């Protein structure tokens, strides 16, 4: 059963707020809650297989943030978030891709379509529910400004994915009227590049193939830096830069290994 993204976000936000309510009763003056938005620039670092990053993707994130003090001097914090992040990934083939499909003109016959390197673009738009947790280290205040550095992890669950496959030779793998699809559904096999069987193989192996499914879980390490500017006694503007580097494979294709990366510009208000 599919759970709607708003329901997932609501559950996660409720859990975060419930936790802060308990902590808030202990030290209400130091725990900070806020809202964050951030445009992001993403790419896939392909380490193995006949694919390469095509270009930068442009996405967007938004969510609820919280800082919990870990020391009485208020220099070390546990930073937590619940956010929805749209992270595009654009990749391109560096090897020959082939599709074998039933002929539309001769019954029982198969047609083979071949695509040269650099002619097929796979434009993924993936939306994740992210739960970042990090240690945030803050400097002593300099006037109204306080600088920070943070390090942590951002476990991410895919809640929606869309793939648009473009072929530069003006061919299409989609039926008339179809422009894109969910890469992980079973009926997606119609749009995949099934390649050719390896002659003499003792198991199912293919050349010139590509399985366009992607992993449902994304596990990135995050590094961030920025500053906080005091607008009033209880309101702070936060601005920063964050690098989000996945440590697990983006692809499900067994012949391809790649990591999804992202740089985001952070802006938010905490109270």
pLDDT tens column, 83-115: 999 999 999 999 999 998 888 778 878 888 999
Which pLDDT band holds residue 10 (cuts at 50, 70, 90)?
A: low
- Give phi and psi for 165, each to the nearest 5: -100, 120
Residue 199: its pLDDT value, please? 83
pLDDT in tens, 112-147: 899 999 999 999 999 999 999 999 999 999 999 999
pLDDT exceeds 80 at position 180: yes
Residue 8: its pLDDT value, please? 53
Residue 122 sits in which domain range?
5-270
Residue 65: its pLDDT value, please? 96
The CATH number that applies at residue 223 is 2.40.160.20
At 220, list the tokens.
Answer: 């990135």
pLDDT exceeds 80 at position 1: no
Count of domains forming the chain: 1
Residue predicted with more confidence, 170 or 224 = 224
pLDDT exceeds 70 at position 71: yes
Residue 91: its pLDDT value, please? 96
Global pTM value: 0.86
Residue 205: its pLDDT value, please? 84
């Amino acid at each position: 059963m599919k759970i709607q993204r708003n329901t997932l976000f609501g559950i996660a936000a409720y859990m975060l707020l419930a936790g802060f309510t308990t902590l808030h009763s202990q030290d209400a003056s130091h725990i900070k809650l806020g809202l964050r938005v951030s445009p992001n620039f993403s790419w896939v670092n392909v380490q193995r297989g006949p694919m390469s990053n095509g270009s930068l993707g442009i996405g967007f994130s938004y969510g609820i943030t919280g800082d919990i003090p870990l020391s009485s001097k208020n220099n070390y914090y546990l930073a937590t978030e619940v956010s929805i992040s749209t992270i595009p990934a654009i990749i391109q083939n560096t090897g020959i891709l082939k599709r074998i499909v039933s002929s539309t003109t001769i019954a029982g016959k198969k047609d083979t379509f071949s695509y040269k390197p650099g002619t097929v673009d796979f434009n993924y738009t993936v939306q994740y529910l992210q739960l970042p947790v990090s240690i945030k280290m803050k400097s002593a205040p300099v006037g109204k400004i306080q600088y920070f550095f943070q390090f942590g992890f951002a476990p991410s669950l895919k809640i929606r994915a869309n793939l648009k496959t473009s072929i530069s030779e003006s061919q299409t793998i989609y039926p008339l009227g179809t422009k894109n699809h969910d890469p992980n559904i079973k009926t997606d096999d119609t749009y995949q590049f099934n390649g050719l069987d390896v002659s003499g193989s003792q198991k199912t192996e293919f050349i010139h193939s590509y399985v366009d499914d992607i992993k449902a879980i994304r596990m990135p390490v995050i590094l961030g830096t920025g500053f906080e500017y005091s607008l009033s006694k209880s309101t702070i503007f936060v601005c920063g830069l964050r690098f989000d580097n996945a440590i697990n494979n983006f692809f499900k294709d067994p012949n391809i290994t790649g990591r999804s990366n992202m740089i985001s510009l952070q802006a938010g208000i905490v109270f």
